[in-house]
Structure 1
Amino acid sequence: MLRVAFFLFTFSFFCKFNVISGDCLTDKDCVFHDWMSWQDCSGQCGNQMQIRQREFCCPEHVQNKNRVNCLGACSIALSESSKFDESRPCRVCDEGHLVAASNTCVCNHGYRGPCCGDVVRCSDNPCKHGTCKDTTSSFVCTCDPGYEGVDCDTRKACSGGISCQHGGSCRDTGSPGFQCHCTRKYNGEFCENALTCHDAPCLNGGICTDVGSSFQCKCPYTHTGDVCEAALSCSDTPCQNLGTCSGPLGNFRCNCPPTYKGDICDTVITCASQPCQHGTCTDSPTGFKCACESSYTGVQCDTDIDQANELLLPEWFPYLEYTLLSMVSLVGVMAMGCFFLKCCQAFGVIGKKDDDDEDHENQYEDYKRYKRDSIVPLDHRKPPSFKIHTGLEF
């Protein structure tokens, strides 16, 4: 340091330019020597610089020793003067530490600014999730529920005393911390807010009605739940009063008995709707009852008895029809056979007696002779013609 101070005071009067060492030997004249260490960072924040220099021996005979004269005496171009010294930007972090790669400061808590020289105040809004109060040295934060840390920037875990309201459950989600899973009628960070119809909570076409500080959903017949979130199916037996159910999940249909109506057969049909077409109506707890006129019948007296009887056929009618058709077919076949037989006889195809006919006639003659004889010899056997075939035997 003494040598540097000595140079700053006398560099215009001695034989060395940028004098660093004591003596400048002749054989070292006009030579650029090694760089010195960087000097301390100085200057205003944002414009701070560091400088370093190198030794150069100017010839002794040069009278006014400056860069121009020394370089000229050494036959060195003036553009080489940059080799005497160089500078670089730097930064001093007053209350923090330097990140050399980016030449930026990371400030300690309670400080800010490019060089961490400014004290943080509540006017800088330092508390992320809380309220701020200035102190003599800096500030202090009072964190909102669910947050912690100097700046209230850390979300708590469920184990940190988190309580979800109105039946909500707390679950840790890692980052950013806890999360309350609310019931269908509340929302908010801690399930503290009651939903209203303004929030359109009813799903699947449900109709919302405000009830006090809450709401109520009137669901379509295919869904149920606080906000109509659950789809019904036939396995839930939604059809009332003996109605029959069919169709897929969330889109079923009810087939109602005659005295009920509605999507789920929940409405009794009364005499006000005039259901009895040909009769008088009487209301009952299970629906209307019709007293029909003498010529009508049915739940709604809509069936004409005379017309129904005309069209009503006995159960055995199909069998009779089949039998008649079979007989007609058989008669037709027989008639056709006879027709062809007559034709064959007419043309002489059939006309001669065959052997079977002659045997039959012989047997018959034997039978007649047997009947004529009153006494039958003991050793005489009955002729075989005793067995006379009738026309029904085949």
Structure 2
Amino acid sequence: MNAVVVAVIVMLLLSLLRVNVVFSLITGALIGGAIGGLGIDGTIEAFTEGVGGGANVALSYAMLGGFAVAISSTGLPNALVEFVLKYVGKQGDTRAKKLSRALIIFFILLMACFSQNLIPIHIAFIPLLIPPLLKILNELQVDRRLVATVLTFGLVTPYMLLPVGFGQIFHEIIASNITASGLKVEMHQIPTAMLFPASGMVVGLLIAVFFSYRKPRTYNKPIVPVTLEGNKGYSVKGIIWSVVAIIAALAAQIWTESMVFGALAGIVVLYASKSISWNEADRLLTDGMRMMAFIGFVMIAASGFAKVMSETGDVEQLVKQAASAIGGNQVLGALLMLIVGLLVTLGIGSSFSTIPIIATIYVPLALELGFSPMATIVLVGTAGALGDAGSPASDSTLGPTSGLNVDGQHNHIWDSCVPTFLHFNIPVILIGWLAAIML
């Protein structure tokens, strides 16, 4: 039995049973490593070696959490809440509430999309934007599963489709790996091909917005997020320095290509401007790091999980087994390639890392089965992107959870992973499969 399949299934089952995601990843890695022939000692050694790869991401999220709490202490979130509340309909004003709900959801969607291309900060905006909005979302009785779905759509679809920001990196990975595997493709072909799986994301979003989560949902706990703790008001000076700090953080992140130094730059501005007092700075930053600690530990465990799967050699074996099972059938071949891509990305948690793994086998196989160059791009790109939405170890689900669960009323698996998996991966597989067959 293939170690990767077993490890991913174990990890997903434990997560669905509400076992902690970190524990699920470690258990899945141990079982997968043992089945893959590494033995217990070899599995532990590979996992230990792999966790170092997640340290930078974990530190980045800890720093972002500290920066988010420092920003909130200046009063910017309170100002945002008061501003938005002015436009929220009064109790019983159904039309105004519906309009307010639509505007807030649209605003969140825009911010998520911009974070991948226009302002490439990835999930850094979530701990700043979402916690202060929870009070408003609760008043409007917005289902947080809808917000998680909207955020994940904005974090995934732009890089799939648009060749700018993170999308440029993703498209370059697709083009370079397909070319290196024997089929020369040009960058301008990628957006056209990826339009098909991206349309599947749009279908999933529309279903979530207009059908799945349109009914009101009540959250009972009072909203006292950690980012607002102890903050009684705001001043014009505090707001101005908050904006300066955010700009400094963005500029430093783009310049250094590091979220760690971006967050550090923002914190330094707040220190230097005395927007946060020296006496409270340590407590604020510690609270922020604690808020993002869950994401950090999941990413560390996911890095160890991915290393174990890589060491078994069963990722490549899984792709080869799928290839041998196809038997020249183009329809079956396209479906199996997409399903294997989904499994790999669900385990690794990164579509960017999945493309190099699958392209070396998928491209020769696609050529042998008679797929056109455009269909081959669809297969490789879709197989790589599948699973990013829905994976317990993906930034695209961990980011939304970090913002929506600050009051403990949003479960990572059942409220972020399962809704995004169902709404996005299913239509993306179907549309990607049909596109590959018809092109």
Larger C-alpha radius of gyration, 1 or 2?
Answer: 1
TM-score range, shorter chain: under 0.3
- Whichever structure has more strand as a proportion of its residues is 1
Q: What TM-score results when the alignment is normalised by the length of structure 1? A: 0.14
Q: What TM-score results when the alignment is normalised by the length of structure 2? A: 0.13
- Whichever structure has more helix as a proportion of its residues is 2
Higher relative contact order (CA 8 A, sep 6+): 2
